[in-house]
A and B are shown apart, each in its own frame.
Chain A
Amino acid sequence: MTTLRAGWIITLRGLAHWARQPAVPIFGLLFSVMLLLVFGLLLGGAMEVPGDGDYLDYLLPGMLTLAMMFGVEATATAMTNDVKRGVTDRFRSMPISAAAVSLGRAGADMVNAMAELGTLVVVGVLIGWRIDAGIGSAALAIALLLALRLAMIWVGIFLGIAFRGGGTTSAVQVLVWPIGFLSAAVVPVETMPDWLGAISAWNPVSATATAARELLGNPSGLSGGLLDDHAILLAISWPVVLTAIFLPLSARAYRRLRH
């Protein structure tokens, strides 16, 4: 049994879950759409983008990025459930590698992420989002968004195992919401107090959101600075760094189940 084949079988299991309980992914999608509508239509009127851009055009790449970031909660919750219900022990007693279990999780969650991106893009365009980009740069924007989601999978697996005793959802929300909103995702950093803006500019969410804005021809709300000048490089580097930290940590947490 190769790791890839075992990973694929576990991915199919994740997809079969959604087929049997479609309410779970559907409400996940509805939540993202709701967040988009709240910010785009309800709060958006009061927002101003420095440099005179349209707020909805500014917002959409940010919402896509937030959706990728918030996906960590689904990954962590699924992982905790498997550990708690003994399914992980079952996998561990079988002749398949630990990597296969993580790959399987990643496969299913990436399919979900693509569905989420697709839905948000469609809803965004329906409420007036304008994309001004060629196929190549649009594809790169999507790839960068998915790279962030992939990096968040290792974070989610790590947190899911670490909080297996309970409280995964609240722990992840406490981590994710401040990080998600303390960024350029929905509020332009140049409208923040200087110190807050400086912190936000260093957020991985800001990097991916800004890179996506540049690639999709949307306003970045920035006038110079590291984030503005090197958004794409940062949007590549951050997921690499997160993966370099959390992939080994998640593998270690899985191995430590043996102790």
Chain B
Amino acid sequence: MNVSPVTHSLIAEGLCKRYGDVAALDGFDLAVPPGTVHGLLGPNGAGKSTAVKILSTLLDFDSGTARVAGHDVRGQARLVRQRIGLVGQEAAVDEILSGRQNLVMFGRLYGLSTLDARSQAGDLLASFDLADAADRAVSTYSGGMRRRLDIAVGLVLTPSVLFLDEPTTGLDPRARNEVWQAVRQVAEHGTTVLLTTQYLDEADQLASRITVLNQGRVVADDSPEALKRQIGGDRVTVTLPRRLPLGPAAEALAVTVGVPGAVDSANHAVTFEAGAGVVVLAEVVRALDAAGVVPEDLVLRRPTLDEVFLTLTGPRQQAAATAAATTAAAAARIEEDVR
């Protein structure tokens, strides 16, 4: 693929950023064509926010190059700032002001006249479903409303590139859906979106291409479909009664189902990759039923991020013993987050 500032709104080549001994980004490459939503997927500490901060001119870097909307982020920071919108991890809106006051203030700071800023604020409030709460202090907003206002502020300028750093972290499912809707709306208007997330599901829902990042390195860069093929689709996890010996039971199940299972002795559970989801689930249920075993728990679920990493960093890089440690550390961090 030919990468140039003309054909791509976001280009990063070999970006490196160190904090002391820790490499937050270690040779980060990215190329995003205009008008697309690009997902940046990775656990906490993978370097997602560092990448967003560098590309949005907030953070300096040690080596490499980055161009956003045709301009160099280091040499032409001001030009870049005229073309981007940033929605950081925390809703960076003024909590004391109302939603409308926020939009008018940021609009005027972007150079709109007071009159234009006001009329645009009205439009944005309406299109993000905030009109009813427009004149209330933002501190009274729900998490989802705040995040929507944050995105609306990021759009005041009608930016060519919008950065969304984990826009749904900490939101309940309903608010998450509202934010997803907002992101789709933005993309429809031709804005290029770079979205960071810890959820494969979210990247899959919104992005046309996904870069998977781990410990500052790109471990995969592909379409969601190709990634899912690699990862192997849904998982069926059976938690067996403690009285059954796990090893033999798992083996027996695997033989009947016809797919190898991954044993998790801590939870006394077996996990099967379920390429076609429901079929494997049905097989498992039949096998359990035939053996007269009532499972403690039985779930069909999307692969977790640590499973994604195990798969992506697995066969090729497992030779290096560090990869396992890396994944374990990442998994531990994710578990911590979930808690």
Contacts and interface: CB of A to CB of B under 8 A. Distances in A.
Interface of A: 1, 6, 9-10, 12-13, 16-17, 20-21, 85-87, 89-96, 257-259
Contact of B95 (A85, A90, A259): A85
Given A16-B101, A85-B92, A92 B82 contact: no
Given A89-B86, A89-B88, 15 more contacts: A6-B109, A17-B96, A20-B96, A86-B89, A86-B91, A89-B58, A89-B92, A90-B86, A90-B88, A90-B92, A90-B153, A93-B57, A94-B109, A95-B111, A257-B58
B58 A9 contact: no
Task: Enumerate the 5 nearest inter-chain pairs by beta-carbon distance, A residue then B residue, closest first.
Answer: A86-B92, A93-B86, A95-B81, A90-B92, A86-B90
Contacts of A96: 109
Contact of A87 (B60, B94, B137): B94
B108 A9 contact: yes
Classify the secondary structure of B's interface with A: loop
Contact of A13 (B95, B97, B153): B97
B96 A90 contact: no
Contact of A1 (B57, B105, B111): B111
A20 B84 CA distance: 30
Contacts, number: 70
B56 interface: yes
A93 B92 CA distance: 11
Contacts of A10: 109
28 contacts: A1-B109, A1-B110, A9-B105, A13-B94, A13-B97, A16-B97, A17-B94, A17-B97, A20-B97, A20-B98, A21-B96, A85-B92, A85-B95, A87-B92, A87-B93, A87-B94, A89-B92, A90-B86, A92-B58, A93-B56, A93-B57, A93-B85, A94-B81, A94-B109, A96-B109, A257-B58, A258-B59, A258-B60
Contacts of B180: none
Contacts of B85: 93
Contacts of B106: 90, 94
B146 to A, nearest CB: 11
A1 B110 CA distance: 7
B184 interface: no
Interface of B: 56-60, 78, 81-82, 84-86, 88-98, 101, 105-106, 108-111, 137, 153
A95 B96 contact: no
B90 A13 contact: no
A92 B58 CA distance: 7
B109 A9 contact: yes
Contact of A85 (B82, B90, B110): B90
A95 B58 CA distance: 12
Contact of B60 (A89, A91, A95, A259): A259
Contacts of A87: 92-94
Contacts of B93: 87, 90
B137 A20 contact: yes
A93 B58 contact: yes
Nearest to A258: B60
- Select the residue from B60, B81, B109 with max chain A CB neighbours within 10 A: B109
Contact of B81 (A17, A21, A93): A93
A95 B96 CA distance: 23
A9 B107 CA distance: 10
Contacts of A257: 58
Contacts of B56: 93
Contacts of B110: 1, 94-95
Given A20-B96, A85-B95, A258 B111 contact: no
Contact of B78 (A12, A17, A95): A95
A90 B94 CA distance: 10
A6 B81 CA distance: 15
Contacts of A13: 94, 97, 105
A95 B88 contact: no
A138 B89 CA distance: 50
B168 to A, nearest CB: 16
